[in-house]
Amino acid sequence: MTQPEMPILESPNCPLPIADRGQIVLGHGSGGLMTHDLIRDVFQSRLSNLILNSANDAAKITEAPPGKHLVISTDAHIIFPLFFAGGDIGRLAVCGTVNDVAMLGAEPRFLTATFILEEGFAINELEMVIDSFAEACQEAGVELIAADTKVTEKGKSDKLFISTTGFGWADSNLRIGGEQAKPGDAVIISGPVGNHGVAVAEARGNLGFSSQVRSDIAPLNHMVKALLDAGLDVHVLRDPTRGGLATTLVEIARQSGVNIELDEEKIPVDKPVLKTCELLGLDPLYMANEGKLILILPTNQAEDALRIMRSTLYGEQARLIGQVLEPSKGQIWLKTPFGTTRVLEMLAGEMLPRIC
């Protein structure tokens, strides 16, 4: 069978977008040939799996195994710039949602994603993002089972927004949550804090110098699984993202109705993070993290928990940083190295550097 001959269009105002140009054009959102090509070449080539490959309008997944609950979390990822030392929006979109699912003690299994593309966004940058999205899925052990792309006119969005929803199974008997911290519990952080916040500030050109700090973005589900497989009585798991360690702990203290005492000297902060924060008048305890978790569990299990965390990829520098005190309205007390204490509050708004 011979192909019908294509008509030759020579009009200078050709209404058809040019298919092979290196950036997103509105035609990529048409639902037609260009959309299919974009999905095939950029997405399916990198994120292939049986469910996604079926190319239906929805994904069928198996029901939760007996004794397990379905756990769902959703998150929209908007970050400027898209690329920064240690990660990009692709890795962030996977790890952010995977970690939220894991913080309820669940094993994340599936993701769905929506990619909002701005007209004019470079396709090679999109490919870089999807490469790292796929790599993070593989590392976390999750499959992308449904996805959508939309294209906005230039100026109606900003290059690329990614919204992801994560699904996982959790043991039905688990009682993990921000309201479960009990007096006498130990408070553990899985590693040094503040790296993501500093790395992103630097990528925004806000520092005026190179801090050498890399974002800590990482999937934490394997660490969580190791802790639960060991049979530890985990009370609280939470990743201290926006607002940092201090804000997240205030949330937990209020939810649980307990005071928490932290030992400032024991909180791990990398030197370049500390120096950058000192210079700009920022506080590492309020800087964002994307690959750290706070673990609260009975003090007599703290040593076991630390040993397990330190044997995992992202928990080598896990530290015991404080303890849960008596029931109360929920305050965080920080013991300084000077033997004084101060109360930590939530971050009020954007953290702004000082003037002189």
Partner 1 sequence: MTESPTNLRDASLTKAIMAEIRRITTQAWNIMEICGGQTHAIMQYGLDQLLPPEITLIHGPGCPVCVTSLQAIEQGLQIACQNEVIFTTFGDMLRVPGNQADLFSARSQGADVRVVYSPLDSLKIANANPDKQVVFFAIGFETTAPTIASTILTASKSGIDNFSILPANVLVPPAMHTILSNPANRVQGFLAAGHVCAVMGYHEYLPIAEQYQIPIVVTGFEPVDLAAGILMTVQQLESGQHQVANAYPRFVTREGNQVAQQIISQVFEPVDRQWRGIGTIPLSGLGLRPEYANFNALSRFELSETPLNESPLCIAGKVLSGVAKPLDCPAFGKDCTPTHPLGAPMVSSEGACAAYYRYHRTRE
User: Site residues (CB under 8 A) for partner 1?
Assistant: 206-208, 275, 278, 281, 328-329, 331, 333, 336-343, 345, 348-350, 352-356
Residues in a beta bridge with 121: none
Query: At its nearest, how many Å lie between partner 1 and the CB of residue 341?
Result: 6
Query: At its nearest, how many Å lie between partner 1 and the CB of residue 284?
Result: 12
| 321 neighbors 246 (Cβ within 8 angstroms) | no
Instruction: Closer to partner 1 by CB, 117 or 246: give it.
Output: 246
Query: At its nearest, how many Å lie between partner 1 and the CB of residue 162?
Result: 24
Instruction: Closer to partner 1 by CB, 14 or 348: give it.
Output: 348
Residues in a beta bridge with 212: none
Instruction: Closer to partner 1 by CB, 232 or 279: give it.
Output: 279
Query: At its nearest, how many Å lie between partner 1 and the CB of residue 209?
Result: 10
- Order of strands across the sheet with 143-152? 68-77, 160-171, 107-118, 143-152
Query: At its nearest, how many Å lie between partner 1 and the CB of residue 332?
Result: 10
One-letter amino acid for residue 152 of the chain = T
One-letter amino acid for residue 267 of the chain = I
One-letter amino acid for residue 102 of the chain = A
> In whole angstroms, how far apart are CA 106 and each of 38, 112, 179, 221?
33, 17, 17, 8
Measure the CA–CA gap between 215 and 213, rounded to whole angstroms: 7
Instruction: Closer to partner 1 by CB, 63 or 350: give it.
Output: 350
Helix residue ranges per DSSP H, the chain = 33-38, 50-53, 89-102, 123-140, 195-203, 221-229, 244-256, 271-280, 302-310
Query: At its nearest, how many Å lie between partner 1 and the CB of residue 340?
Result: 3
Query: At its nearest, how many Å lie between partner 1 and the CB of residue 244?
Result: 14
Q: In 3-state terms, what secondary structure has residue 202?
A: helix
| 96 neighbors 215 (Cβ within 8 angstroms) | no
Instruction: Closer to partner 1 by CB, 170 or 246: give it.
Output: 246
| 112 neighbors 146 (Cβ within 8 angstroms) | yes
Q: In 3-state terms, what secondary structure has residue 42?
A: helix
Q: How many CB atoms lie under 10 A from the CB of residue 55?
A: 10
